[in-house]
Structure 1
Amino acid sequence: MVGARIVDRLPDNWRWIVTTRASVVLALLVALLSVATGIVRIDQQAADFGPLAPHVPVAVQDAVGFTGALTGFLMVGSALALRRRLRAGWWATVLLLPLTAIQGLLQASPYSLPLVVLSACALPTLFLTRRQFDRSLSLTTTQIAAGAALVGVQAYGTFGSYALREQFDGIDHLLDAFYFTLITSSTVGYGDIGPATEVAILFTMSVVVLGVASFGIAIGALVGPAIQARISKTLGIMTDSELDLLDDHILVLGYGDLTEPIVDELHEAGRQFLVVTRDPEAASALADRDIRVLTANPSDEDPLQRARIESARAVLVATDDDAQDALAVLTARELRPDVRIATAATDRENSRKLERAGADDVISLSELGGHLLVRSALGEDESPVVSRLLEDEQPSNAN
């Protein structure tokens, strides 16, 4: 709450800096620096580092070099989640930023100083933009089960091989058991750790079978839907199951400069609506804003039927092309004679044509603009609003 108030009070020329995009960019920079410094630390010797090196054990420096690179890759994932404005991505970044800063300090390297500074600078920005990351991460039952299966198989292999460590060559610690399980279930199999008895061989075979199955299921359930959703958003394609959920919605046929304010108002009001446009770039931009969009010709019958015009509450048509709008209105009226259709005419002479096409309400932009300008010049546009506000305040003042 306090961070959001600070952002609201920032001047206009500074407010754009503390934005969602700034948080995403800072998280990505921290991720790249974490990976880079981790690789540099692995490649260098402790003697090559600065004055902090003698105070940090070499084993710790080596460990944070490897884990720093791993943390950097995790930061890339959290930055992508931030880009989607996911709340889970915000929490993951908040937890990872102090870790990258600590790893930078423990690397005891002058190369890691920018990592520490940038991690410290990214945290305040992240807290200031906290309210911007309000989208929840929704996982299906299949995705949860696939993730649980993957974790369960790794736990089964780790604790099982550790319990049978006397029957394996090379397993002395729990870390050895986890290493063996990971390379075995992923079918890498370096051969440095192997079973020495028949029981250990049978156990290793079970880890291979279960590991391959769990990896395959996890990739299909966790990664597959994300790729499919991204492709669908890019192409503006909605699945039939998503379209079937539409009910009592508003259809916005076509997209242009006149349509943008309509979409913004419907989106801010939380209305259920669907935009049908033939412009793939516009469809991709709308999909990135989590707005339902269908890439198709709004004057064709099939897209409107797929958009469930039979259950639509109303139809809005307002683009820069009156001729295309008339075709869209005509098609919508033929498919749904009882639906209310509202449209706008960029040319005053086209108002009657749109009415004859089947529109219930046609707003002439030239007439509306002239009317509003006259009322504004005479000061008449304010009087109804002011009087209404005064009427609303009278009872409270009387009390």
Structure 2
Amino acid sequence: MKWTHDWVTVRASILLTFAVAVLSIIVGLVHISTGGVDSALAMYVPDGVRRAVGFTGTLTGFTMLGSAYALKQRFRVGWYATAILLPITAIQGLLQVSPFSVPLVAVSVVSVPALFYNRTRFDRTFSPSPTQLAAGIALVTALSYGTFGSYALREEFDGIVTLTDAFYYTIVTASTVGYGDVTAAPSSELGKLFSISVLLINVAAFAVALGVLLTPAIEAQLSKALGRMTDSQFNLLDEHVVILGYGDLTEPIIENLSDSVQFAVITTDESVARRLSDRDIPVLTADPSDEEPLQRAGIADARAAIVATENDAKDALAILTARQLNDEMQILAAAMQRENVAKLRHAGADRVISPSEIGGRLLANSAIGKRDAEAASQQLLGEELD
């Protein structure tokens, strides 16, 4: 395998970041629950620091899950967040001075060069939608209302002395857990009314935020049902092959590409698109001769395009469009009519084959007993040679 293409890839950076996040959470929870396992270096780290990094390590892990998701979406902010969090997880692992933290430190260190190697790949700017902004503002406002309001009215409550107590009360009330350790004073009508308002406002804010989080998942399912690629599938395409159109040759092409390279299919046939989507094949229902679907499928970053339908005229238009959008990639085509081979080359295809001519030659050579023709036929069909 080539190091630059098969190992140090965008996907490797994302998977390593997820691995660090999960390890940080697990190691932090183990450290909190067991109090840490002493090692030879434990005497050099104060107990208070070790307990603190166990708790903060878990928080860092959950934060890194968010940055890993941002990396998956190719957001630049996700790259910056991960670049900051990786050294933090490594330092936290070192300060925990536990055998359990060794994998965390090792994976964190390994993740850094992969992340920096692919820094140019994470170039999307994060532009939150109005709905996302509204959800974020509503959530922050609701929590602030509960925290500062309860602190200002702390005389009306039993158990609120500091801002930390007020924040704790707000979170417990908003989550409808209600431990009962911080409550409005029995004789305080104002405290009771404020508690009701905190509950209603925060539950509504959390409901809005949850809706915003679930909307992309719902859209992904709808896209799959309609035979369309999701944004996450688009963003992960890199050095891939774009198959323009769908014909009799497309399935063999897909079978041969599946185990070796990423690819996406653009077709106008909605039923075909749904079948491909059910097989988790990235597919876009659109005209492959239009610029917009080719751009969405990442034609600018593609290593090659394959055009092989039963309509040479439409294939020529698709080749022209693809060549205009990427003049460096390989374009491979199949001409159904032998006389159209030269025309598809003039349209911009680098290589053009005629399946009928190839098949005819193989059959003729096999008929007259040429061994090499039979061997070539068996190799093309994936059969074992006699």
- Please indicate, yes or no, whether the TM-score normalized by the shorter chain is above 0.5: yes
User: For each residue in 1:160-188, what CA deviation from the matched residue of structure 2 results, as whole angstroms up to 9, or x when unmatched?
Assistant: 11222232222222222111111111211
Matching of residue 276 in structure 1 with residue 276 in structure 2: no
Partner of 2:129: 140
Alignment of 1:213-252 (within 5 A): 213-221=204-212, 223-237=213-227
How has the CA–CA distance of structure 1 residues 213 and 170 changed in structure 2, closer, same or farther, with 3 Å as cutoff?
A: same
Q: What is the one-letter code of the residue matched to 1:25?
A: L
Q: 8 Å contact 2:227–2:273 — kept in the other structure?
A: no
Change in Cα spacing, 1:16 to 1:88, as seen in structure 2 (3 Å) is same
Please, which of 188, 211, 218 is the counterpart of residue 202 of structure 2?
211
The residue aligned with 1:200 is: 191
SS at match of 2:127: coil
> 2: distance between equivalents of 1:16 and 1:200?
61
Per-residue deviation, 1:285:
3.9
Alpha-carbon spacing, 1:282–1:171, altered in 2? closer, same or farther (3 Å): same
The reply on whether 1:117 has 2:106 as its aligned counterpart is: yes
Letter in 2 for 1:228: I
Contact preservation (8 Å) 2:94, 2:101: yes
Alignment check: 8 A CA contact 1:347 1:365 kept: no
Distance 1:127 1:72, change over 3 A: same
Are 1:32 and 2:22 matched, yes or no? yes
Maintained 8 Å contact 2:227/2:274: no
Question: 1:77-96 to 2 correspondence within 5 Å?
Answer: 77-96=66-85
1:217 offset after TM fit, Å?
Answer: 1.0
Contact 2:228 2:282 in 1 (8 A): no
Deviates more, 1:53-62 or 1:111-120: 53-62
2 CA distance for matches of 1:104 and 1:41? 10
Structure 2 match to 1:286: 282
Q: Does 1:104 align with 2:93?
A: yes
Q: Deviations over 1:59-80 (max 9, x none)?
A: 4333322332232222223222
Cα distance change on mapping 1:66 and 1:161 into 2, 3 Å = same
Contact persistence 1:258–1:320 (CA under 8 A) = no
Percent identical among aligned pairs is 41
Residue equivalent to 1:243: none
**TM-score, length-scaled by structure 1:** 0.61
1:259-287 Cα offsets, whole Å, 9 max, x none, are 99xxxxxxxxxxxx974341446555435
Residue identity opposite 1:225 in structure 2: T
Q: Which runs of 5+ in 1 are unaligned?
A: 1-10, 240-251, 261-272, 288-292, 299-303, 308-317, 330-343, 352-360, 371-399
Q: Distance in 2 between matches of 1:19 and 1:326?
A: 36
The number of residues matched between the two structures is 290
Partner amino acid, structure 2, of 1:129 = N
Aligned counterparts of 1:224 and 1:327: Cα–Cα separation in 2 = 43
Query: How far apart in 1 are the matches of 2:87 and 2:275?
Result: 39
- Partner SS, residue 268 of structure 2: strand
C-alpha separation between the residues in 1 aligned to 2:253 and 2:40?
62
Cα distance in structure 2, aligned partners of 1:108 and 1:164: 44
Q: For the Cα contact (< 8 Å) 1:86–1:135, is it kept in 2?
A: yes
Alpha carbons 1:257, 1:319 under 8 Å: kept: no
| CA root-mean-square deviation | 4.1
**In the alignment, which residue of structure 1 is the partner of 2:246?**
254
Report the Cα distance in structure 2 between the residues aligned to 1:232 and 1:328, rounded to whole angstroms: 29
Work out the CA distance in 2 between the residues paired with 1:78 and 1:366. 46
Question: In the alignment, residue 32 of structure 1 is paired with which amino acid?
Answer: V
Contact 1:28 1:79 (8 Å CA) reproduced? yes
Cα distance per residue 1:92-114 (max 9 Å; x no partner): 21122122122223323222122
CA distance in 1, matches of 2:245, 2:309: 12
- Paired AA for residue 37 in structure 1: V
Deviation (angstroms), 1:15: 4.5
The answer to whether the 8 Å contact 1:162/1:174 transfers is yes
- Amino acid in the other structure paired with 1:30: V
Q: What is the TM-score with the length of structure 2 in the denominator?
A: 0.63
Deviations along 1:289-325, one digit per CA (max 9) or x if unpaired, are: xxxx128xx8xxxxx9xx9xxxxxxxxxx86452xx4
Q: Closer, same or farther in 2 for the Cα pair 1:91/1:275, shift >3 Å?
A: farther
**Alpha carbons 2:25, 2:61 under 8 Å: kept:** yes
Report the secondary structure of 1:16's partner residue: helix
Q: Residues 34, 187 of structure 1: CA spacing in aligned structure 2 closer, same or farther, 3 A cutoff?
A: same
2:180 alignment partner, one of 187, 191, 198: 191
Measure the CA separation in 2 of the matches of 1:281 and 1:82: 29
C-alpha change, 1:52 and 1:206, in structure 2 (3 Å) is farther
Question: What residue identity is the alignment partner of 2:205?
Answer: S
Q: What's the CA shift for 1:237?
A: 4.5
Q: Deviations over 1:202-222 (max 9, x none)?
A: 11111101001101111112x
